[in-house]
């Protein structure tokens, strides 16, 4: 199924320029804008939304403050200052539990928290503070490349966040992996609002007071924009929005990002809209610039494309949409971000050359929902010029090309161009398995250009399921791609899932057998189970796929649905296959570090020769896998 982009009337470039001239004629002044990236995200590289918006706003003459609150939060969490605050909360939490025990019998987990809090002494906090600072020093310095020390640092982060969780319980704060849970449902507006007001569990209220509020008081921005990429970030984002509107009511607060786009039809009816003034959906550069200039001129936001806004008469949705011309966009501007404070020793910069997916037909994917126009790209010379500019300006040699799926023709041109320019960088990106890339010279160029690590959409190793998904690839193409890239010294990370509608258990086992057969050229895997996301082709055409979605009207912010199928694996059966796979897959895929940027840096530094060091001892010793016996 090809993506449909009929999502409102497209605003013409002429209309956009007319609005700009109207704004200037109305006395629109240059504004100060604060852009916030909220928790939770692993703090290993800047997220691209802020630098992309910043470059457009600054080019128009506006002042921009970029604030990666996610990074600042974790830097603060792993510090003596924050952990001393944790110590002060210990008696408060114990007192809360004592009072609760007089009303009812404590649950087992509550008694466990009580006992653990008694061990959270001044000496223990001092020990954790020292370990936390040492862990940050390791991930930011040369000791990062000592795998034993790096593993110790990651475990320390987990140990510290587990201790922090005790004083915010029943919230659970976890990093890594990023699994912070405030004990509220993020897919229900009412529960998000309850979480915002819950001073016991909502650690983001403290983050606002310590990191966000002082910055606002110092900078006095006219507009604050918050980029919400993951739905989980609604907790921190709505907390910040609510407290900003409470403490600084005259500042215009807008939200945007992937999650906002996917919730654009329900947000106008959500009570969450009381916490912010406007929202930008789809692509944000032109829309947000128009919004900032309208606010600066004191004009209505009517006519600003890609926008939801609230005024005295209610909430309104713009009837216009706008898709960016990639060639007109400037390169991202990272000035003002603390690039040396991210949790890695060598800076990695993200860069995006394309919008949309050139294939755009995978039945399980909702990436196209974020756009009102099809696949677009900058020209190769512009791409190479901008990469070189970023390399030289920020003195960086590591890049993450964040394109949804790098197009084959552009991949060839990029590799050859990086070689011809002697760019001397290392890079990683995301790709599909393509027959057009099965030429050895392509992978020689890829190796020589600095390509080190590929995330590839494997999805399934069963031909029938691949056809159901409309992946338009075969197991022969996948095998040859793995062989060529591995031979070139490029790390293959295969991403897939079980339970696509119509997939049987035998199909899923086929997929596992394929991976087992190619275990020496599949270097790591990222697997899960199929999610029925509300904007996917499957959810939009459930009859075609034999799917029955179950929509709970109380879950107003839900982006995924529970479902049943007429044929194939049920949700529960797919989970069981996944659990078996997790327990019995080849040991060489269980890595001592699993953060993708960390693996990328190791491969960039040592090449594939360092692979054994990343594995657990059992894998290095050649321990036999029980996978084959389990599934065959």
My answer on whether 386 and 521 are in the same domain is yes
Residue 248 belongs to some domain of the structure: yes
pLDDT at 377: 97
By mean pLDDT, which of 4-8, 85-89, 260-264, 280-284 is the weakest? 4-8
My answer on whether 99 and 153 are in the same domain is yes
By mean pLDDT, which of 26-30, 274-278, 496-500 is the weakest? 26-30
My answer on whether 350 and 461 are in the same domain is yes
Task: Provide the residue range defining the domain that includes 226.
Answer: 30-72+199-315
pLDDT band (50, 70, 90) for residue 368 = confident
By mean pLDDT, which of 7-21, 77-91, 281-295 is the weakest? 7-21
Which tens digits make up the pLDDT trace of 387-423? 999 999 999 999 999 999 999 999 999 999 999 999 9
Tell me the CA distances in angstroms from 149 to 156, 199, 429, one per residue in order: 10, 36, 27
Q: CB 108: neighbour CB atoms within 10 A?
A: 7
Residue 235 belongs to some domain of the structure: yes
Residue 22 belongs to some domain of the structure: no
pLDDT band (50, 70, 90) for residue 346 = very high
423-443 mean pLDDT: 97
Domain boundary among 161, 187, 213: 187
Angle, in degrees to the nearest 10, between helices 285-297 and 13-25: 20
pLDDT band (50, 70, 90) for residue 612 = confident
* Sheet of strand 348-351: strand arrangement: 348-351, 398-401, 426-431, 451-459, 491-498, 524-529
User: Over 80: is that where the pLDDT of 517 sits?
Assistant: yes
How many domains does one find in the chain? 3
Residue 181 belongs to some domain of the structure: yes
My answer on whether 64 and 134 are in the same domain is no
My answer on whether 403 and 550 are in the same domain is yes
Residue 603 belongs to some domain of the structure: yes
My answer on whether 561 and 464 are in the same domain is yes
My answer on whether 483 and 584 are in the same domain is yes
CATH of the domain at 428: 3.80.30.20
Domain boundary among 292, 315, 338: 315
Written as six digits, the tokens of 295 are 């606010």
pLDDT at 23: 60
pTM, to two decimals: 0.95
In the chain, the percentage of residues whose pLDDT exceeds 70 is 94
pLDDT at 607: 92
Which tens digits make up the pLDDT trace of 186-244? 999 999 999 999 999 999 999 999 999 999 999 999 999 999 999 999 999 999 999 99
Peptide bond into 170 cis (omega under 30): yes
My answer on whether 81 and 183 are in the same domain is yes
What does pLDDT average to over the chain?
Answer: 94
Which tens digits make up the pLDDT trace of 100-111? 999 999 999 999
My answer on whether 482 and 523 are in the same domain is yes
Residue 435 belongs to some domain of the structure: yes
My answer on whether 237 and 362 are in the same domain is no
Residue 543 belongs to some domain of the structure: yes
502-516 mean pLDDT: 97
Domain boundary among 270, 295, 315: 315
Residue 329 belongs to some domain of the structure: no
My answer on whether 206 and 171 are in the same domain is no
My answer on whether 94 and 50 are in the same domain is no
Beta strands in 467-523 (DSSP E): 491-498
pLDDT at 14: 65
**β-pairing verdict for 547-550 and 560-565:** antiparallel
pLDDT band (50, 70, 90) for residue 629 = very low
CATH of the domain at 273: 3.40.50.280
By mean pLDDT, which of 11-25, 70-84, 508-522, 545-559 is the weakest? 11-25
């Amino acid at each position: 199924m090809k993506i449909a982009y009929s999502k409102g009337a497209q605003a013409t470039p002429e209309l956009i320029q007319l609005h700009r001239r109207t704004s200037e004629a109305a006395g629109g002044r240059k504004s100060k804008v604060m852009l916030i990236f909220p928790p939770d995200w692993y703090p290993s590289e800047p997220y691209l939304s802020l630098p992309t918006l910043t470059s457009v706003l600054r080019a128009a003459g506006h002042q921009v403050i970029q604030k990666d609150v996610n990074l600042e939060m974790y830097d603060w969490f792993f510090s003596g200052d924050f952990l001393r605050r944790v110590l002060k909360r210990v008696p408060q939490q114990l007192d809360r539990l004592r009072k609760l025990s007089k009303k009812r019998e404590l649950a087992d987990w509550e008694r466990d928290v009580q006992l653990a809090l008694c061990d959270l002494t001044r000496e223990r906090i001092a020990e954790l503070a020292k370990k936390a600072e040492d862990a940050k020093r390791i991930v930011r310095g040369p000791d990062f490349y000592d795998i034993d020390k790096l593993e110790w640092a990651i475990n320390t982060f987990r140990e510290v966040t587990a201790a922090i969780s005790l004083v915010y319980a029943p919230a659970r704060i976890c990093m890594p992996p990023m699994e912070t849970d405030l004990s509220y449902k993020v897919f229900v507006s009412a529960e998000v609002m309850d979480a915002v007001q819950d001073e016991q569990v909502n650690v983001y209220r403290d983050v606002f007071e310590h990191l966000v509020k002082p910055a606002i008081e110092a900078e006095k921005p006219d507009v604050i924009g918050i980029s919400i990429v993951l739905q989980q970030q609604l907790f921190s984002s709505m907390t910040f929005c609510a407290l900003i509107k409470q403490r600084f009511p005259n500042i215009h607060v807008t939200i945007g990002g992937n999650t906002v786009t996917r919730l654009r039809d329900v947000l106008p009816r959500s009570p969450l809209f009381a916490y912010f003034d406007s929202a930008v959906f789809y692509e944000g550069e032109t829309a947000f610039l128009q919004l900032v200039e309208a606010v600066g001129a004191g004009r209505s936001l009517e006519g600003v494309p890609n926008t939801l806004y609230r005024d005295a008469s209610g909430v309104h949705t713009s009837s216009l949409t706008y898709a960016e011309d990639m060639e007109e966009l400037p390169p991202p501007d990272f000035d003002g971000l603390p690039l040396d404070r991210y949790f890695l020793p060598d800076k990695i910069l993200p860069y995006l050359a394309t919008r949309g997916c050139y294939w755009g037909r995978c039945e399980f994917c909702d990436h196209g929902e974020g756009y009102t126009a099809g696949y677009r790209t900058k020209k190769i010379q512009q791409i190479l010029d901008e990469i070189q500019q970023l390399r030289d300006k920020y003195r960086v040699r590591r890049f993450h090309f964040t394109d949804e799926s790098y197009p084959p023709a552009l991949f060839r041109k990029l590799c050859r161009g990086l070689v011809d320019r002697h760019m001397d960088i290392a890079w990683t990106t995301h790709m599909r398995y393509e027959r057009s890339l099965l030429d050895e010279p392509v992978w020689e160029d890829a190796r020589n250009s600095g390509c080190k690590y590929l995330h590839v959409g494997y999805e399934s190793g069963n031909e029938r399921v691949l056809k159901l998904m409309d992946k338009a690839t075969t197991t022969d193409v996948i095998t040859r791609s793995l062989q060529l890239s591995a031979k070139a010294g490029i790390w293959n990370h295969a991403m897939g899932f079980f339970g696509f509608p119509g997939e049987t258990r035998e199909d899923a086992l086929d997929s596992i057998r394929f991976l087992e057969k190619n275990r020496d050229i599949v270097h790591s895997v990222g697997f899960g189970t199929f999610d029925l996301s509300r904007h996917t082709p499957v959810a939009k055409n459930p009859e075609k796929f034999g799917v029955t979605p179950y929509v709970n009207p109380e879950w107003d912010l839900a982006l995924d649905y529970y479902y049943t199928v007429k044929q194939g694996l049920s949700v529960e059966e797919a989970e069981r296959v996944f659990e078996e796979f997790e327990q019995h897959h080849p040991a060489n895929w269980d890595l001592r570090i699993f953060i993708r940027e960390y693996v990328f840096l190791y491969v960039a530094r040592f090449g594939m020769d360092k692979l054994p060091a990343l594995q657990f001892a059992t894998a290095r010793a050649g321990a036999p896998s029980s996978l084959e016996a389990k599934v065959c």
